[in-house]
Structure 1
């Protein structure tokens, strides 16, 4: 889905499952903190809006995006959560580091989803510029944190449907 065609904060609230009684883990990268902080705030506001109690949201910070999958693994194993959202932001630089981190986190989230019976939601921005990241973390394209929270609620409902 092209972001240019959709505001990330636009969703059909009538088709979004409620979150009462659900426990959500969120792992947030401290790298690019102005962006990841805004993504976190969007996710928190949306979860609460849909009935998740603030006390049922466990937020853990990790140094960078590469560490997101380890943090998610720990929340799955020890956090007694129904779902984990990973939030990070990697901005293209002059070296291949961007590609290595993005590929690693993508594969790590996929592996966690296949290995565990708890959904892990991919909330990693992978942008070419800081301006693009800002546009997707509360700017003109909305907030990908909102989208991650809605995805979490929908995936919890799917998981519960087939238990």
Structure 2
């Protein structure tokens, strides 16, 4: 069986992986915390600091374009999308959430590259703060796990 067997923990080994991280600057206090947790967890999983490329973009809608450029470079084993969209009083929240998520998914599928999507979509700031560290770490773990799984499924 590839990946983890049912009921067994996945062994996450980031050694030798190259990971790209795209961070939206909008709601920067939250996204900085997401990035710090993500990069810290990547390093804890064995990804070398020099194998992590971390870039920033204006907001969640710009994240897919940077992910696409990274995917086109063929330099990465996995990518991570970090951002934070907090509901406001207009429909703009739904537009940003839906379009950024669709863009992230499309890049991953178009390039066959795993992308951990940690663009938070919350009702308010306290919800975002409550999730920032855990979701940053989760994104790092997902990126490593999926990079290893896709490598097993598509050996060169």
- TM-score w.r.t. length of structure 2: 0.90
Unmatched segments (≥5 aa) in structure 2? 1-8
Corresponding residue pairs, total: 146
Residue 157 of structure 1: aligned partner: 148
Unmatched segments (≥5 aa) in structure 1? 1-13
Q: Over residues 21-64 of structure 1, what are the superposed CA-to-partner deviations in whole Å (9 max), with x where a residue is unaligned?
A: 10000000000000000000000111000100000000010001
State how far apart, in whole Å, the 2-side matches of 1:107 and 1:152 are. 18
CA RMSD of aligned residues (A): 1.0
1:52 to 29, 47, 55: 47
Residue 122 of structure 2: aligned partner: 127
Equivalence map 1:95-134=2 (5 Å): 95-134=90-129
Equivalence map 1:11-160=2 (5 Å): 15-78=10-73, 80-138=75-133, 143-160=134-151
State how far apart, in whole Å, the 1-side matches of 2:105 and 2:74 are. 19
Q: Over residues 54-80 of structure 1, what are the superposed CA-to-partner deviations in whole Å (9 max), with x where a residue is unaligned?
A: 000000100011100001001111261
